[in-house]
Structure 1
Amino acid sequence: MKTLTLLLGMSLAIGSGIAHAATHDHDMSQQQMTMAMPAAAATSSHKGAGVIRAVNEKARKIQIAHEPIADLEWPAMTMWFGLQDPVPMGMKVGDAVLFELEQNPFGKWVITRIEPRR
């Protein structure tokens, strides 16, 4: 009986994880993206394109809904990124942008360059 109860509990736990994964909206955290990163991505700069969704100037962070980034094997999603420099003057929520990002020594993704997409 204990074995049956244990198996039932494990099945429910696994099933709920699968259900959560199936409904996840690709709004991944920095930690998840660090774990999902290909080994070659750790030391290079990567280019992306997207739309600014939010800006936290005080924390020097920006949320971007970006297109797929093939060399990182990332699908299109919305993410928060750290900023190396402040957001350029005049750039605001809703603007289409091109950006470059790198992973810092602490495993966090930081935008090292951002500009309006023309």
Structure 2
Amino acid sequence: MQVQMHDHDQHGAMASPSQADPDALTEGAIQKVDKDTGKLTIKHGPLNNLDMPAMTMAFKVQDPAVLDQAKVGEQVRFRVERVNGSLTITKLEASK
């Protein structure tokens, strides 16, 4: 039986973790928390998975509990996907 070896050191060498990584997160800063509409406004870098340039934009949140923890000015890493036709934050975490 042959075992195939892989050199995993090359995985971090990609120019951009964007479209190649389906779970890539984007850096941003929370500008507004709107519990009434269920949205966060975030000033963000490029959303490579959506071919969207850096800008400030309001996004729905998939989990409304996120709105209770989000704070204006907080630096975050997040993932946005199209959910039922709406740009929706599916993952959000504080930047490290």
Any gaps of 5 or more consecutive residues in structure 2?
1-18
Counterpart contact for 1:84–1:112, Cα < 8 Å: yes
1:112 and 1:70 mapped to 2: Cα distance? 15
Q: Please give the residue correspondences for 1:29-108 in structure 2 after superposition, counting only pairs within 5 Å.
A: 47-86=25-64, 87=66, 89-105=68-84, 107-108=85-86
Q: Cα RMSD (Å) of the superposition?
A: 2.1
Runs of 4+ in 1 over 6 A off after TM superposition: none
Which residue identity does 1:114 align to in structure 2?
Answer: L
Counterpart contact for 1:48–1:66, Cα < 8 Å: yes
Q: Cα offset for 1:45?
A: 6.1
Point out the structure with max Rg over C-alpha.
Answer: 1
Larger deviation, residues 45-54 vs 61-70 = 45-54
SS in 1 for 2:58: strand
* Structure with the largest fraction of strand: 2
1:81 and 1:59 mapped to 2: Cα distance? 10
Q: How many residues are treated as equivalent by the alignment?
A: 75
Any gaps of 5 or more consecutive residues in structure 1?
1-40
Give the TM-score normalised by the residue count of structure 1.
Answer: 0.55
Give the TM-score normalised by the residue count of structure 2.
Answer: 0.67
Q: Give percent identity, aligned residues only.
A: 37
Counterpart contact for 2:34–2:67, Cα < 8 Å: no
